A and B are shown apart, each in its own frame.
Chain A
Amino acid sequence: GNSVTQMEGPVTLSEEAFLTINCTYTATGYPSLFWYVQYPGEGLQLLLKATKADDKGSNKGFEATYRKETTSFHLEKGSVQVSDSAVYFCALSPFTSAGNKLTFGGGTRVLVKP
């Protein structure tokens, strides 16, 4: 079946540090890949996505590249701010429409200190 594995947190950083959150997946075919962000007390918001190999998704200074050869979709940001403190979820959608469900990773909590 499909699965998503992401690094466990919490990840604690200082402001302006470089952030990487690793995400690897297992899926048949060519899934679409997503990063969602959840700020404290809120629901999940789509941060970025990529629908095919070598695509790069980007938003709000965050980037992730769909690497089919390593089945990875690592999230990066060059200079984090306190406002980036949140939980980040990696997810995949299988190419087929059967099931119509996203598979989520367990989430990674990021804490950015001033």
Chain B
Amino acid sequence: DVKVTQSSRYLVKRTGEKVFLECVQDMDHENMFWYRQDPGLGLRLIYFSYDVKMKEKGDIPEGYSVSREKKERFSLILESASTNQTSMYLCASSLDPNYGYTFGSGTRLTVV
């Protein structure tokens, strides 16, 4: 069964920490995405990547960066975590968007 795996289900970090959220897919997909999900705001795209070492800003990239050194792995980095980055983070991948995305189970991040 194809999978997108996010390394942590729950994380608690302190304000100012550098935080890494990891996402790995085993489907050889070229496209990978990071979203955050907040009540009343739906899904908001942070960054996405079409290929290794390629990245594009989404709708809310401020305060985040990404890394894609290998095709299967797409990391989201919070350079200096803040309380307003407390959220559910969802990773997804796709071969062709006309066939939809495969999502990971999500990481619920709390910044205190």
Contacts and interface: CB of A to CB of B under 8 A. Distances in A.
Interface in B31-66: 31, 33, 41-43, 45, 48, 50, 58
A93 B42 contact: no
Contact of B42 (A46, A100, A106): A106
B90 A49 contact: no
Interface residues on chain B, size class: 20 to 34
B42 A101 contact: no
Interface residues on chain A, size class: 20 to 34
A34 B101 CA distance: 10
The B interface, classified by DSSP as helix, strand, loop or mixed, is: strand
B105 A42 contact: yes
Interface of B: 4, 6, 31, 33, 41-43, 45, 48, 50, 58, 90, 92, 94, 97-106
29 contacts: A32-B99, A34-B100, A36-B100, A41-B106, A42-B105, A42-B106, A43-B6, A43-B104, A43-B105, A44-B92, A44-B101, A44-B103, A45-B103, A46-B102, A49-B99, A51-B98, A89-B43, A91-B100, A93-B98, A100-B31, A100-B48, A100-B94, A100-B97, A101-B33, A101-B48, A102-B97, A104-B42, A105-B42, A106-B41
